[in-house]
Structure 1
């Protein structure tokens, strides 16, 4: 029978955490679908992808026409006009280099989407846990108000039999007023946080958010591998930026190559009426080829130097960001562990407070009850319960930070 009870308890805890995770994940998915910031990043990525198509271009074809006002005479006749067509083509591989550079920039924009989604997930999770904290504190405060009302009735009865004074009753009523004030303040805090939460999901601020009534800490802490930190999108972004600089240098070198030009000139020629020969009035057709050579290389040399400096800058930025993330990871793990220690201590304190309270109540039948001591114990118990709720919230908020840092 004992084993069955243990099994039922384990299943309840597992089911509880599963429901909590499922509910929060549902909110997160809604936020990712509807959040305007995410949609903005998606549009930026679409624009960057479209630039790949833009990169596949060649210079405009040039057409020109001219009319000889004074017709030049040649052996075969007078030239009346000139029609020309010109087309320049980039060196082999130049278009591919432009496309690769645009693709690298699009990849960098895509990583920004992943970063934005992670930050949104963290914000939604933290806001959810803040809502839980407010609700849980209100629940504890209301329970204590009801308990104080019971003590008030007990005090009134004690006044009638001479075991307490009216001052004890007034003190209990004042304490109830203080707790009721805290409940009302938390109501306002909840409404403000509810608006924040709903706006993350891009919906009306007054939409009611269903929060679980109770959260508990897992039996064991999840083990996180800090070796996954380098795979955080914030760091992968620098890899993509570095690759874009590499592709920028490839593009720079390709633009340093010559450009080939092809052309065709057509000149209509009038016949000479005074002569008769085989090529009389024969039109002129002249194919042409040209090569554009970048003789002055300072522009391209400077661009190469800039790219080299950018690579060094990106590497430094990535190393610095890794240090920041490693520090944040260590702090989050430490604070999560601190929250568990605080939680465990509050559990012990609450049990001892309940025992002390029970002893005071049991002494009521034997002698006059000490309402001052009872009120002190009640305040201690409330303090420990509030601290316990804060510890639970801190545990899950720090866990959310760890997930932001190393989750796949």
Structure 2
């Protein structure tokens, strides 16, 4: 079987024939959504922390003045100046930078997950708008059909083949459908505001959605797996960052050594003449800092080991949740396909029944009660078909989010 490589959005928009429009909405949302912008800033901060990790302990400078000048053979010591720099163990700075880089990579995965979730929310909201618009259009067509039947009924009344009750029933039915249209219009306005909110723009802007869509005969082949989902990769990055934290802990538990210099100016002795009279003192110094009481480092090691176990359990738990979500989404998508096919078959039969009624009218007999019953069945099947299409693509969007990296 030929492998099919899918990308985000391809599965759920190809059948609508309006992929570019939906993708442009997703791009706009990812560029303007405040939550995504906050994640991006957080990642930029994490990247900057890599530069922050390149540091050394403060250089120490000291100066002192002898109130009571100590006398030496070469003269009296006047003051003392010192400079000292402690240096971490070999490789500590580079290990610290690697740890900061690992933390930045974790934040980047969070950023990717947030963008994917936003794309999923935009896609699902888009298909809700599609469903509301499609139902609105179907109701409008059915109202026009009822008006046609009303005209037939009025003609039948004139020739005594129908009563005004039939006309009134057809008008009442039109009123009911008109009410449903108004409700759908309000629901569309509400969902449109939610959709625009995801794009961080004026909630009153009109959203263009695609026309009527069908469910494709075959689903695209799923070749990726849950293991590539960024939600799970995030735990791998977290595990890696803990491993880097332990390496840094080992480096920081090692000794630190320092280099320094003391400078002591010396006054000349006025009562004596010799070669080193008043010679200043320069004293290079080396120091070593040993963490003898290093319980904190052994405790950090234990904490890091426990943290690794925690991340492993968290990843397994998240995998279980995603597997359940995937199985449920696939099942619901299959249900949508089954329901769509059933409603299509029922709709064809209802249309056949409608044709029979129309032919009966041509022969001079028509039962408008049957007309209303058939019209109501047709509308039911049409609305259910739209609901199935909407459910199919919403679940396809979720499946695409779960299995693609």
Q: Normalising by structure 1, report the TM-score.
A: 0.94
Q: Counterparts of 1:261-300 in structure 2 under 5 Å?
A: 261-300=258-297
* Number of the residue aligned with 2:184: 186
Sort the Cα spacing of 1:19 and 1:364 in 2 relative to 1 into closer, same or farther, 3 A. closer
| Mapped contact 1:158–1:368 kept (Cα < 8 A) | no
Distance in 1 between the 2:109 and 2:390 partners? 30
Structure 1 residue 82: Cα displacement? 0.5
* Number of the residue aligned with 2:5: none
Farther-moved stretch of structure 1 (235-244 vs 211-220): 211-220
1:170 equivalent in alignment to 2:186: no
| Mapped contact 2:86–2:257 kept (Cα < 8 A) | yes
Q: Note the residue ranges of structure 2 that are not aligned, 5 or more in a row.
A: 1-12
| Mapped contact 2:15–2:215 kept (Cα < 8 A) | no
| Number of residue-to-residue matches in the alignment | 393
The equivalent position to 2:138 in structure 1, one of 131, 140, 161, is: 140
* Number of the residue aligned with 1:391: 388
Structure 1 residue 278: Cα displacement? 2.0
* Number of the residue aligned with 2:195: 197
* Number of the residue aligned with 1:119: 117
Sort the Cα spacing of 1:124 and 1:331 in 2 relative to 1 into closer, same or farther, 3 A. same
Q: Counterparts of 1:292-311 in structure 2 under 5 Å?
A: 292-311=289-308
The equivalent position to 1:90 in structure 2, one of 84, 88, 91, is: 88
| Mapped contact 2:16–2:210 kept (Cα < 8 A) | no
* Number of the residue aligned with 1:214: 212
Farther-moved stretch of structure 1 (210-219 vs 86-95): 210-219
Distance in 1 between the 2:283 and 2:303 partners? 44
Q: Secondary structure at the match of 2:45?
A: helix
| Mapped contact 2:16–2:213 kept (Cα < 8 A) | no
Q: Secondary structure at the match of 1:296?
A: coil
Q: Note the residue ranges of structure 1 that are not aligned, 5 or more in a row.
A: 1-14
Q: Counterparts of 1:17-56 in structure 2 under 5 Å?
A: 17=15, 19-56=17-54
Name which structure has the greater RCO, CA cutoff 8 Å, separation 6+.
2
The equivalent position to 2:332 in structure 1, one of 314, 332, 335, is: 335
| Mapped contact 1:164–1:368 kept (Cα < 8 A) | no
Q: Normalising by structure 2, report the TM-score.
A: 0.94
Q: Secondary structure at the match of 1:263?
A: strand
Distance in 1 between the 2:50 and 2:265 partners? 43
Q: How well do the aligned residues superpose, as a CA RMSD in angstroms?
A: 1.4
